[in-house]
A and B are shown apart, each in its own frame.
Chain A
Amino acid sequence: MKFTKEHEWVERQGELAVEGITDFAQHSLGDVVSLELPKAGKAFKQGESLAIVDSMKASSDVYAAVSGEVAEVNEQLLQNPQWINESPYEKGWLVKLKPSDWNEADTLMDKEQYDEFVAKQEKH
């Protein structure tokens, strides 16, 4: 699993890259009340906004961790936005992308680097 500075996670699952937001992200957002997901087939470049997560505090963009085409979105999540809070790495996944270039994932942080990054943010 790899992580972005914008607090998304991405994980390889066969040919697909599954993306969601991290536990730190869901914790800072608070209770998620609704979300907007992209349509399957839509293509995004790395860093482009692909989804919106609304919580009681804020409406936040979720950016594509890697470039690619949307293969599948978590439709069930639309009825159960609380899954993002309860299970950010499993039931709370947002999209599955068909990446155009796996090498892009190398630019992202691994678990250890991300934990360090979060610790610094919390101090700030």
Chain B
Amino acid sequence: MKSMDLLFDKSGAHSGYVGARDQELPEPFTRQELPLPDLNEVQVVRHFVKLSSMNFGVDSGMYPLGSCTMKFNPKINEETARMPGFAGLHPLVEEKEAQGALQLMYELEEYLKEVTGMDAFTLQPCAGAHGELTSVMIAKAYFESRGQHRTTILVPDSAHGTNPASANICSFKVQNLKSDEKGGVDLELLRKAVKEDTALLMLTNPSTLGLFEENVQEIARILHEKGALLYIDGANMNAMLGVTRPGDQGADLLHLNLHKTFSTPHGGGGPGAGPVGVKKALEPFLPVPRVVKTMDGYGFRHERPQSIGKVSSFYGNFGVLVRAYTYIRAHGPELRKLAEDAVLNANYVLEALKEDYDVPFPQPCAHEFVASSTKQQKNGVHTMDIAKRLLDYGIHAPTIYFPLIVNEALMVEPTESESKESLDQFIAAMKAIAREAEEHPELVLRAPQSTPVGRLDGVLAARQPNLTYEEDLGKPSEKQKTGI
């Protein structure tokens, strides 16, 4: 392992620089022993620059993490998000002092309505799962206002794990729907499952298998016949922009992931934005405050008796909204081209890898596809090993072991950002790894060799997490000794 000293370990080389500052402090505030590393500015700067160079991001290489849409984040987004009028705006200033920010939010809602075919949006939810939760709360309030007691939410077995979690938090019973052999919703099963107590179906379209749901209109009809609602998890909206609209297909509610589809650096916990769009009948239940446009300019409306209330402090992750707004304005009608390229890129890679890897759903895919390492398993090579070996080829690993319904899944989403050249590099790397798995499996099993940190013992780390710094690293802590 190419390890790196911590700042504390580097301490000891006195610079004089730090000490000189100390003497400016009045006597009572200085301490003889201060447990901080004794380093000068340049040492600290070099330390952090070196650390940052160990990071892998979409700016350093291809990042085909399925379901996450790790597209390139245009630098102009950062420029607009950092404009002092936006970045420095206090959330409590009066509305008349924040007209630009309010206009941006109002117009962003309008654009999202146009892209999705929904009637109204809230920008408050701070991530995709938060958008799901908000949607389920809205649906619950809607049914309660109609005096209906609906207790069940249907979730296909290919769904994001957050779907059943969101339903559960709102005290709904989750009923799992098995996919048909083509990976779509089984209409017969759905007809049987939808009953008087069904509140909604949470459908991801395109699905997490990277497939367009062919029967979405029929699905909507089956639900609506029984008074249930169709909720679309729009995490994969990148495949549909400008081509087709969930609102036209019968969706009653949906959430978008602005940080994915409309570009914001994400991963490792955020920040995100998961706006929720609804049809007219559900609009009264949207969170407060709503952004409105009046004769006097833009403002917030709080008086909405049927609203589910606030779902985030202030107005959501405003910086992400600025980036999404910029992205939409920068591309305009070209958004459709992005979706087309994303789908084309995924199909190009899928076709190229069909012979080397098992592909459980070989039909044309949407913006991502799922492969499996079942062919490689006979030599003891698993999906985890292939993912780690890709790191040696300078490519971030795809999503692995998701969706759960595919054995040893590898989920690849190249996005529209990648050129043909980098797609070909990825294909070549995957083919080379398939060959290695045949001829030199130990190469794959030992990977990665070129990264700052090699094979970690993930199992031990999960079973006995030790997250505290120990001055004497050679000695096991009390925690490690007892395993508690």
Instruction: Please judge, given known A-B contacts A28-B407, A56-B458, A59-B161, whether A34 and B401 are in contact too, CB under 8 Å.
Output: no
Q: Binary interface profile of B, 368-390, with partner A (CB < 8 Å = 1, else 0)? A: 00000000000000001000000
Q: Mark B116-127, 1 if CB is under 8 A from A, else 0.
A: 000000000000
Interface residues on A, range: 10 to 19
CB distance from A75 to the nearest CB of B (A): 14
Chain B proximity of A24: nearest CB distance (Å): 12
Residue B75 interfacial (CB < 8 Å): no
B61 nearest CB across to chain A (Å): 24
Interface residues on B, range: 10 to 19
**Complex partner residue of A81 from B161, B407, B463, CB under 8 angstroms:** B463
**What distance in Å separates the Cβ of B415 from its nearest Cβ neighbour in chain A?**
25
B147 within 8 A of A: no
Q: Which of B439-466 contact A (CB under 8 A)?
A: 458-459, 462-463
A34 touches B462 (CB 8 A): yes
Q: Say if the beta carbon of B84 comes within 8 Å of chain A.
A: no
Which residues in window 383-407 of B have CB below 8 A to A?
384, 400-402, 404, 407
List the A residue with the shortest CB-CB distance to B174: A49
Q: How far is the CB of A80 from chain B (nearest CB, A)?
A: 9
B483 within 8 A of A: yes
Q: Mark A18-44, 1 if CB is under 8 A from B, else 0.
A: 000000000010010110000000000
| Bound-complex Cα distance A39 to B401 (A) | 30
Choose from B404, B407, B459, B483 the contact partner of A56 (Cβ within 8 Å). B459
In this assembly, does A58 line the interface, its C-beta being within 8 Å of a C-beta of chain B? yes
Contacts of B463 in A (CB 8 A): 33-34, 81-82
Instruction: Say if the beta carbon of A111 comes within 8 Å of chain B.
Output: no
Distance of A108 Cα from B136 Cα, bound (Å): 35
Contact assessment for B407 and A58 in the assembled complex, using a CB-CB cutoff below 8 Å: no
Chain A residue with the shortest CB-CB distance to B403: A58
Residue A13, interface by CB 8 Å:
no
A48 closest partner in B (C-beta): B173
Least Cβ–Cβ distance between A28 and chain B, in angstroms: 7
Q: Is A58's CB under 8 angstroms from B401's CB?
A: yes
Contact A58 B404 (CB under 8 A): yes
Task: Establish whether residues A33 and B459, one from each chain, have CB atoms under 8 Å apart when the complex forms.
Answer: yes
A33-B459, A58-B402, A124-B407 given; name 9 further pairs at CB < 8 Å. A33-B462, A33-B463, A34-B462, A34-B463, A56-B384, A56-B458, A58-B401, A58-B404, A59-B161
Show 22 residue pairs from A and B whose CB-CB distance is below 8 angstroms, ordered by the A residue: A28-B407, A31-B459, A33-B459, A33-B462, A33-B463, A34-B462, A34-B463, A56-B384, A56-B458, A56-B459, A56-B462, A57-B400, A57-B401, A58-B401, A58-B402, A58-B404, A59-B161, A60-B404, A79-B483, A81-B463, A82-B463, A124-B407
Closest 3 CB pairs of A and B: A33-B462, A57-B401, A31-B459
